[in-house]
Chain A
Amino acid sequence: MTHLESLKLRVLQAVAERPVPPRSGRLPSTVLLVVLSATVMFAVIEWVPRLFGGVGGLAHAVGRPASIEVGLVMGIVVLALVSTWISSFLRRSMLSPPRGLLLCVAIGVPLCVGAWITLWHGSYSDPFVPGGLRCFELTLLTAPWPFVTLVYASRRFEPRHPGTVGAAFGAVAGAWAAVMVELWCPVAEPKHVLVGHVLPLLVLVVAGSAIGRRLLRLRRM
């Protein structure tokens, strides 16, 4: 018996000792999680500002013209969809897309969100002077839900660059959080955008990288 044949017996025995069920459709559970995630994000935008004595939900953004609101939010939705597609669906094996592409997502999303919102500055007068870090907090409170959904939907380990995948997931979750926060915040003043909208995305990228390194890495069995 060659060493590969004896190894085969050992591997087959180990496999028999740890049975894994066959592949099952996970679309229903993923869809359910997406719906749940969106609901929680809306709830955060609706209720968290009220806890601090502010106005919750879409009513907070009434000072901004509706057409501008739609254009601005649609731009971020497109960015979120594209970054989700790149980080989760653009692959032909169980492996993630190339590291360069994931880094583009991780770095590009915060920059694009910041640039896109700032682009609208001056097209209308800001309804009030922004204060505090409410947008920063809201972004960080809404982002974990899409992040969990992304990790669950991918349900994979990443043998090559788990940290980069985590960073890209952080950026994608941040993009979806930015959509929600933009529905609430009517201010496009550059300094506020930088602190309240871009900085939390950078925090999410760094946190996503750290979580990805722990959660998505290959573990010995």
Chain B
Amino acid sequence: MQAALGQVAIMVARNSDADAVGRSRADRAMERYARGDDSEFAHLYDELAPRLYRFALRWTRSRSAAEDTVQQTLLQIHAARDRFLKDSAVLPWAYAIARRLLVDHTRRGEREELRAEDIHDPTEPTTALSPDEALHQRRVEAEARRDLAELPTSWREAFDLVKFEGLSVAEAAEVLGITRGMVKIRTYRATAALRKATEWRLRDRSERPALRHPGPDDPSEEAMPP
């Protein structure tokens, strides 16, 4: 219980860095960097890199590809320093760049499978598990990954950004280039499908429900790897 509350506290702390006008630490660092303070780029890295790395690692399941994505994204941001719009949000922009790089990476088919235990949040504290607990955790993670992989790409992307990355609906909408309403719909559908799959597993039914419910908002634009 204490551990769970601690995790929630960490997540809340991570997402509550906005100032009075709603600008995050990353926004403020980028603004200072654009104005000419070279040392701010290191702060910008500290704000963005862990999140982008986690995002890229979950997508590619390859450490080298995730590092390459983070590096490329930050270099693109650096290259746009002289034309950065005053008071613009950095986070959706950074995620959109990373997402594009990852889509291109996927199209090139460069993937290196990692084991489940190799994919973890670099900011998350690691705890020692007993062999039974580790086995159980691995099984649960494998099932969750499989459920997630079976979701339609558009649902999975929205779910990933909102639930895993902690972006607001507005930020996720900017990253994906769709309306806020569409992000809400896709996230809701993904959550409902995952809940259904989990319920099925708990009841141990012999027939697994299909997670795909193609709707009018499911154009399957770009491939996202499982």
Q: Is the interface of A mostly helix, strand, loop or mixed?
A: loop
Which residue of B is nearest A101, CB measured? B179
Contact B177 A98 (CB under 8 A): yes
Task: Give the docked Cα–Cα distance between A6 and B98 (Å).
Answer: 19
Task: Give the docked Cα–Cα distance between A12 and B40 (Å).
Answer: 11
Residue in B41, B63, B88 whose beta carbon sits within 8 Å of that of A94 in the complex? B88
Contact A2 B122 (CB under 8 A): yes
Contact B92 A221 (CB under 8 A): no
Query: Is A23 part of the binding interface, using a Cβ–Cβ cutoff of 8 Å?
Result: yes
Residues of chain A within 8 A (CB-CB) of B90 are: 93
- Closest Cβ of chain A to B41, distance in Å, is 6
- Closest Cβ of chain B to A50, distance in Å, is 40
B window 54-72: CB within 8 A of A: 63, 67, 70-72
B102-125 to A contact mask, C-beta < 8 Å, 1/0: 001000000000000000001000
Best-buried of A3, A12, A15, A159 by chain B (most CB within 10 Å): A159
Residues of chain A within 8 A (CB-CB) of B178 are: 98-100
Q: How many residues of B contact A (CB 8 A)?
A: 46
Contact A92 B89 (CB under 8 A): yes
Task: Give the docked Cα–Cα distance between A23 and B35 (Å).
Answer: 6
Q: How many residues of A contact B (CB 8 A)?
A: 35
Query: Is A214 part of the binding interface, using a Cβ–Cβ cutoff of 8 Å?
Result: no
Which residue of A is nearest B84, CB measured? A23
Query: Is A8 part of the binding interface, using a Cβ–Cβ cutoff of 8 Å?
Result: yes
Task: Give the docked Cα–Cα distance between A12 and B71 (Å).
Answer: 10
Complex interface: stretch among B9-17, B45-53, B136-144, B185-193: B45-53
Residue in B49, B74, B78, B177 whose beta carbon sits within 8 Å of that of A96 in the complex? B177
Residue in B36, B71, B79, B177 whose beta carbon sits within 8 Å of that of A161 in the complex? B177
Residues of chain A within 8 A (CB-CB) of B84 are: 23, 94
Task: Give the docked Cα–Cα distance between A15 and B33 (Å).
Answer: 12
Contact B82 A21 (CB under 8 A): yes
Residue in A11, A20, A221 whose beta carbon sits within 8 Å of that of B45 in the complex? A11
Task: Give the docked Cα–Cα distance between A99 and B96 (Å).
Answer: 14
B18-50 to A contact mask, C-beta < 8 Å, 1/0: 000000000000000011100001100110011
Query: Is B156 part of the binding interface, using a Cβ–Cβ cutoff of 8 Å?
Result: no
- Closest Cβ of chain A to B191, distance in Å, is 23
Contact A94 B36 (CB under 8 A): no
- Closest Cβ of chain B to A6, distance in Å, is 9
Best-buried of B53, B97, B174 by chain A (most CB within 10 Å): B174
Best-buried of B80, B90, B174, B177 by chain A (most CB within 10 Å): B177
Contact B100 A22 (CB under 8 A): no
Contact A157 B76 (CB under 8 A): yes
Given A11-B71, A94-B88, residue A99 in contact with residue B177 (CB < 8 A):
yes
Contact B100 A94 (CB under 8 A): no
Residues of chain A within 8 A (CB-CB) of B169 are: none
Which residue of A is nearest B37, CB measured? A22
Query: Is B101 part of the binding interface, using a Cβ–Cβ cutoff of 8 Å?
Result: yes
Residues of chain A within 8 A (CB-CB) of B104 are: 218
Given A4-B53, A159-B96, residue A220 in contact with residue B72 (CB < 8 A):
yes
Given A4-B49, A7-B71, A218-B76, residue A95 in contact with residue B34 (CB < 8 A):
no
Contact B49 A7 (CB under 8 A): yes
With A20-B79, A156-B83 given, name 9 new contacts (CB 8 A): A8-B45, A11-B49, A11-B74, A18-B75, A93-B90, A95-B92, A99-B177, A157-B80, A160-B96
Chain A residues within CB distance 8 Å of chain B: 2-4, 7-8, 10-12, 14-15, 18, 20-24, 26, 91-96, 98-100, 155-157, 159-161, 218, 220-221
Chain B residues within CB distance 8 Å of chain A: 34-36, 41-42, 45-46, 49-50, 53, 63, 67, 70-72, 74-76, 78-86, 88-90, 92-93, 96-97, 99-101, 104, 122, 173-179
- For the complex of A and B, list the 6 residue pairs with the smallest distance between their C-beta atoms, beginning with the closest: A22-B36, A159-B100, A160-B177, A23-B34, A94-B93, A93-B89
